[in-house]
């Protein structure tokens, strides 16, 4: 299965990216084809038209479109900005058609004590609007700067169980949806 992790932080040296790197490392060990799309790597303009296919996508964004259309499931990762997810994450997703019946997992990160829970709640609404199917277990990461180093290595072993449950529940959903499509 092709899974894309979409990291929605626009900030250079983002602490959210630490979680993305860790999830990428762990997910690559599951036997699935996993990639990381970082919103920092794509200078997408405001949405004026949806990229309806790879062929209809401007040349500069064709590599991104190829990955978005090929993905069978997504992990959305964002910091919390004013109680919600980032505009960059929304802008990226808005450039593409609905993601009907694809599995989505939600992960948030914050240096604060709530871990981005308000952004996670907002992302649930976005997943529904995309016609996606959300995994029942979210990864909410408080004090992210104390849990992961800059390379995505886990510093707080007590958080390992949360990560494992998050991945297990997401992959369960992916498997169920894949079986339904067959």
pLDDT tens, residue by residue, 28-44: 999 999 999 999 999 99
* Mean pLDDT calculated for residue range 67-80: 97
| pLDDT reported for residue 13 | 83
Return the residue matching tokens 């997504």: 74
7-29 pLDDT, tens digit per residue, is: 999 888 899 999 999 999 999 99
Q: What percent of the chain has pLDDT over 90?
A: 92
| pLDDT reported for residue 180 | 77
* Mean pLDDT calculated for residue range 148-171: 97
| pLDDT reported for residue 125 | 96
pTM (predicted TM-score): 0.95
* Mean pLDDT calculated for residue range 95-101: 94
Rounded-to-integer distance, Cα 79 and Cα 86, Å = 7
| pLDDT reported for residue 12 | 80
Burial class (CB in 10 A: 0-12, 13-18, 19+), 71: buried
* Mean pLDDT calculated for residue range 57-67: 96
pLDDT band at 51 (very low <50, low <70, confident <90, very high): very high
Answer with the residue of higher pLDDT: 159 or 182. 159
Burial class (CB in 10 A: 0-12, 13-18, 19+), 41: exposed
112-133 pLDDT, tens digit per residue, is: 999 999 999 999 999 999 999 9
| pLDDT reported for residue 61 | 96
Q: How far is CA 135 from CA 16, 112, 165, in A?
A: 20, 24, 11
| pLDDT reported for residue 94 | 96
pLDDT band at 179 (very low <50, low <70, confident <90, very high): confident
Length in residues, the chain:
182
pLDDT of residue 181 exceeding 90, the answer is no
- Side-chain-side CA neighbours of residue 45 (13 Å): 9
């Amino acid at each position: 299965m092709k899974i894309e992790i979409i990291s929605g932080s626009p900030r250079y040296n983002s602490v959210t990216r630490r979680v993305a790197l860790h999830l990428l490392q762990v997910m690559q060990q599951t036997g699935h084809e996993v990639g990381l799309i970082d919103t920092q790597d794509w200078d997408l303009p405001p949405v004026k038209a949806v990229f309806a296919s790879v062929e209809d996508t401007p040349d500069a964004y064709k590599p991104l479109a190829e990955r978005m259309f090929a993905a069978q499931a997504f992990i959305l990762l964002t910091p919390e900005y004013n109680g919600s997810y980032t505009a960059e994450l929304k802008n990226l997703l808005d450039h593409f058609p609905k993601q009907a019946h694809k599995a989505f997992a939600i992960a948030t990160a914050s240096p604060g004590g709530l871990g981005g829970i308000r952004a996670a709640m907002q992302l649930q609404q976005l997943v529904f609007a995309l016609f996606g199917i959300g995994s029942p277990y979210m990864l909410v990461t408080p004090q992210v700067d104390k849990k992961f180093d800059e390379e995505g290595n886990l510093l707080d072993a007590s958080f390992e169980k949360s990560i494992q449950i998050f991945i297990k529940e997401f992959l369960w959903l992916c498997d169920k949806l894949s079986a339904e499509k067959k």
